Each structure stands twice: as structure tokens, then as C-alpha cells.
Amino acid sequence: MIGLSHYLILSGILFSIGLVGVLRRKNLLMLFFATEIMLNAANIAFAAISSHYNDLTGQMFAFFIVAVAASEVAVGLGLLIVLYKKYGTLDLDNFTVMKG
């Protein structure tokens, strides 16, 4: 039988995959993909808890997460295009301006 803990463990695994991606990636577009994975992991946990308690609040928060993700992508991709026009690359190491 699949319980709440199964979904929470899956959500934790997916979140850690996204976290490893965020820490490991140097390309900004790939970094965005990793953040999407983390948002989706949170959504799974919200939906699982929502169905476990028969409470719709979790699903509401999942909807708002989807809305936040959509606006984040719209603004972030605009910024990426501006950066690419300016530097010709999306590598984070090239944007380092502080020496130390």
C-alpha cells in the first residue's frame, strides 16, 4: 500500500536531485532546469499531504507554485537573453566580477 511517506520520500529524492543540480551546474539555463525540478518536488509533497488530510490547502499552494514558476521563467529567460546578448555565453564563471 502506498502511503504518505512514499510520496514524501520521492519528493525528498527529487528535491535532492534538483539541489545537486543547482550546486553543480555552471550553465545558467541548466541551473533553471534544476530549479524547476525542485519546484516540482515541492508540488508532489503538497499534493500528497493534501490528499492524505483530505484538505485542499495543499493543492492551492501547488497552484500558486505553478504560477510563480511561470512568471519566474518569463522574467528569467528575458534576463538570460539580455545576458547572452551582452557576453555571448551563459557560463556563470564568466560573470565573476569580484576578485578574491
CA distance 7 to 5: 5
Cα–Cα distances (Å) from 12 to 37, 45, 58, 66, 83, in that order, read: 11, 8, 17, 19, 33
Per rule CB under 8 A, count of chain residues that contact another protein? 70
Asked if 95 touches another protein (CB under 8 A), the answer is no
Using CB under 8 A as the binding rule, whether residue 87 contacts another protein is answered as no
Is 35 among the residues that bind another protein (CB under 8 A)? no
Q: Say how many Å lie between the first and final Cα of the chain, rounded.
A: 54
By CB under 8 A, is residue 75 in contact with another protein? yes
Residues of this chain that interact with another protein (CB under 8 A) are 1-2, 4-10, 12-21, 23-27, 29-30, 32-34, 36-37, 40, 43-45, 47-48, 50-51, 53-57, 59-60, 62-64, 66-75, 77-82, 84-85, 90-91, 93
